Structure 1
Amino acid sequence: MKYKLLVLDVDGTLLNDAKEISKRTLASLLKAQQMGVRIALASGRPTYGLMPLAKTLELGHYGGFIVSYNGCQIINAQNGEILFERRINPEMLPYLEKKARKNGFAIFTYHDDTILTDSPDNEHIRTEAELNNLKVIKEEEFSTAVDFAPCKCMLVSDDEEALAGLEEHWKKRLDGTLDVFRSEPYFLEVVPCGIDKANTLGALLSHLDITREEVIAIGDGVCDVNMLQIAGLGIAMGHSQDSVKVCADYVTASNEEDGVAQAVEKMILAEVHAAEIPLDLLNARAHHALMGNLGIQYTYASEDRIEATMPVDHRTRQPFGILHGGATLALAETVAGLGSMITCQPDEIVVGMQVSGNHISSAHEGDTVRAVATIVHKGRSSHVWNVDVFTSTNKLVSSIRVVNSVLKKR
């Protein structure tokens, strides 16, 4: 497959305006992962606030990543391991607090599942906490209470002019020490020097040993521009500012129009060909299922043909040492099921409806049989597959018909 990693901004990109992942977007992302594409969520949100989204997308199952705090951390969603991390020198906190108090700004930072702040009743801080399922703890002496190195600090004010003034001052004063930028009109973010989504993406690519050309990045904000430019394919959301769109290779629909799903369907799902189906990944994921228990291994996969092998051994034979007919039918349903899954659309699911077969000859213990499934009918609501099962010497063992029902996801 051409693309191996899909990097997604969260707010305004993955999520719609209701802060939800649409059904179509979820379906497309799950199918992309089933095809072997790994996903990284890249956001200014804290790690804790991204974990529910990672769970919904099954990133842990498919080997995805969380890039949090605008690039301060990379987390392996499979095991929680921190692969990359940068933090603010805690010696800078008294200076940041002093400047915040002098200008009448609120200040806060994140720590695990909490927000530490001197202004717990601030509307924007409360909203940030609710958005990320965080508790808010009041700390009168902020820099004293924060006895750790935070990933980032946030200054908050509705006085946009004053906040912009401090931003410009700090860009000169803190150059080479800390980076500052406005993520919202009322938020001034302070992060370690040199940290942004693009630089951290570079670290992730090194870890995965993949190239920029194998990456798709999708975002909507000014903070995403560098990330879009470093990716092999940078995609801007349809509602992005023109300054973001001109930096992208492609512009998709807005987050209210399933822009991420449209991009994934066009750039990833439509590009799946027979030689690109990751058979090793498919086989590994079925290891602890019935398929794995019976020793079934996929050997070829395309939209109209699936092949797999199964050993005739203690797991699949009758007491007399010949292949069990039930195991043969399970093999047939396995290959036909995969074929329908590859063929159906991202918003569809496949369920088995009927399987019937004729057992023509026997296969003996010690042999390995081969199933060849070819599609004979591909309708909008059903697929019909013919599955022939052969011995290692190409003797026909069984001829089986499998009917799968295609349903819309709810």
Structure 2
Amino acid sequence: MIKLIAIDLDGTLLNDKKEVTPRNKEVLARAKAQGVKIVICTGRPLRAIRPYLEELSLKEPGDYSITFNGGLVQKNETGEIIEKAAMQLADIHELVSVAEDLNLPLDVVSEEIVLSLPTSAAHPSIYGSLNPLLDCRPFAVADLDESMLYNKAVIAYHQEVLDPKIPEISSEIREKYEIIKSRNNLLEFMPKGITKAYGISLLAQDLGIKQEEVMAIGDEENDLPMIRYAGIGVAMANAVPIIKEAADVVTVSNQEDGVAAVIEEYVLKGGA
């Protein structure tokens, strides 16, 4: 019996217009009414998903989100952090050097503020344009200090420039950080071991929910750990190949209410 459904946003719950469709909204409401925890699981900060939480009536006591790709587990009603994993200042300085060597922009998310660092004059960051709800501010590397919370770092730039640069990242850096594409133009860096599956496992433990009682639905590389972790891992029809290969179930696309379809089949109808 599924008791928690972890759902990615872009390419999964949201259609290509970044909308929650009426059918997805209705099915999620039915599942929640049956006592199933509906948990948005995203690389974004809470600030950037609040409109969706309000639209889905997921800002009540007992509603949770997993943000920063598993770095934070938060109460939706208050924003209170119940589980946290973050980077150190030394990590950020190391990633600044990586971005400078690649001649690509580096943004660091610090709580709900995005610090845009001057690592590439030729290639300015497009992170703010990917989500208008982000509060992006130019920031000097010299002004970074130990007192700040560093949730994750990202390189946001056009795919045709970004993709050829990724193989240049050294094996030492790859071994030290989780480095995952969450969109075709967004490369994310997290502390090693911090993934969406990590965040889900902490929340499930807090709620007394077993691993086999979790469903996870996603489409991109950063969803892979939670797809593998969940009792039922679900790939969207529009998912990248590695997600489809790892999934237990492939539902229809985000343009065809794939989230609603799989929840109706495996949760509301009691399928297995």
Instruction: Give TM-score scaled by structure 1 length.
Output: 0.60
Report the counterpart of residue 149 of structure 2 in structure 1. 149
Amino acid at match of 2:130: E
User: 2: distance between equivalents of 1:109 and 1:205?
Assistant: 28
1:115-126 correspondence to structure 2 within 5 Å: 115-118=114-117, 122=124, 124-126=126-128
Q: Distance in 1 between matches of 2:205 and 2:226?
A: 15
Equivalence for 2:74: 75
| Structure with the higher strand share, 1 or 2 | 1
Summarize the alignment of residues 113-192 of structure 1 with structure 2, pairs less than 5 Å apart. Answer: 113-118=112-117, 122=124, 124-130=126-132, 133-139=133-139, 141-142=140-141, 144-145=143-144, 148-158=148-158, 159-167=161-169, 169=170, 171-173=171-173, 175=175, 177-192=176-191
Alpha-carbon shift at residue 20 of structure 1 (Å): 0.6
SS at match of 1:198: helix
Structure 2 unaligned regions, length at least 5: none
- What's the CA shift for 1:84? 0.8
Say whether the 8 Å CA contact 1:97–1:143 is kept in structure 2.
no
**How many angstroms does 1:33 deviate by?**
0.5
CA–CA distance in structure 2, aligned partners of residues 124 and 245 of structure 1: 28
How many angstroms apart in 1 are the aligned matches of 2:201 and 2:68? 16
- CA separation in 1, counterparts of 2:17 and 2:131? 16
Q: 2: CA distance between counterparts of 1:219 and 1:161?
A: 21
Matched, 1:195 2:194: yes
1:85 aligns with 2:87: no
Q: Alpha-carbon deviations, 1:355-380, whole Å to 9, x = none?
A: xxxxxxxxxxxxxxxxxxxxxxxxxx
Q: Name the CA shift for 1:58/1:66 in 2 (closer, same or farther; >3 Å).
A: same
Deviation string 1:23-52 (CA, Å, 9 cap, x unpaired) is 010011011101111111111112211222
AA aligned opposite 1:82: I
Residues 129, 25 of structure 1: alpha-carbon distance in 2 compared, 3 angstrom cutoff: closer
Q: TM-score, normalised by structure 2?
A: 0.89
- Runs of 4+ in structure 1 deviating by more than 4 angstroms, as ranges, are none
For structure 1, the residue ranges without an aligned partner over 5 or more in a row are 273-410
Q: Give SS of 2:54's match.
A: helix
Cα distance in 2 for residues equivalent to 1:235 and 1:199: 17
Partner of 1:365: none
The 3-state SS of whatever aligns with 1:83 is: strand
> 1:48–1:112: 8 Å Cα contact kept in structure 2?
no
Q: Does 1:259 align with 2:261?
A: no
Partners of 2:241 and 2:164 in 1: CA distance: 26
CA separation in 2, counterparts of 1:29 and 1:206? 22
In structure 2, give the amino acid aligned to 1:172: E
Distance in 2 between the 1:185 and 1:258 partners?
Answer: 22
Which residue identity does 2:167 align to in structure 1?
Answer: G
Cα displacement (A) at 1:123 = 5.8
- Kept in 2, the 8 Å contact 1:66–1:76? The answer is yes
The structure-2 alpha-carbon separation of the partners of 1:103 and 1:123, relative to structure 1 and needing over 3 Å to count, comes to closer
**1:152 positional shift:** 0.3
Whole-Å separation in 1 of the counterparts to 2:145 and 2:178? 20
Counterpart of 1:16 in structure 2 is 15
Residue in 1 that maps onto 2:110? 111
**Over aligned residue pairs, what C-alpha RMSD do you find?**
2.2
Post-superposition offset of 1:136: 2.2
User: Structure 1 CA distance, aligned partners of 2:110 and 2:149?
Assistant: 10
Deviations 1:217-259 (A, max 9, x none): 1111222122112111111111113322121111111000011
**Is the contact between residue 127 and residue 157 of structure 2 (CA under 8 Å) also seen in structure 1?**
no
Distance 2:202 2:215 in 1: 16
Determine helix, strand or coil for the equivalent of 2:154: strand
Paired residue type of 1:228: I
Report how many aligned residue pairs link the two structures: 265
% identical aligned pairs: 28
Cα distance, 1:267–1:62 mapped onto 2, change above 3 Å: farther
Secondary structure of residue in 2 paired with 1:239: coil
Q: Is residue 2:213 matched to residue 1:211? A: no
Instruction: Quickly say closer, same or farther: Cα 1:98–1:247, change in 2 above 3 A.
Output: closer
Shift of 1:194: 0.7
Letter in 2 for 1:223: N
Q: Is the 8 A contact 2:107 2:125 kept in 1?
A: no
CA distance in 2, matches of 1:58, 1:151: 26
Asked whether the 8 Å contact 1:73–1:82 carries over to 2, the reply is: yes
Q: In the superposition, relative to structure 1, how do residues 143 and 253 fare at CA in structure 2: closer, same or farther (>3 Å)?
A: farther
Contact 1:3–1:213 under 8 Å retained in 2: yes
Please, which moves more after superposition, 102-111 or 9-18? Answer: 102-111
SS at match of 2:77: coil
Larger gyration radius, structure 1 or structure 2: 1
Distance 1:221 1:188, change over 3 A: closer
Most deviating of 213-222 and 183-192: 183-192
Give the corresponding residue for 2:232: 233
The aligned residue for residue 53 of structure 1 is: 52
The whole-number CA distance in structure 1 between the counterparts of 2:192 and 2:96 is 18
Task: Work out whether residues 163 and 188 of structure 1, in 8 Å CA contact, stay in contact via their aligned partners in 2.
Answer: no
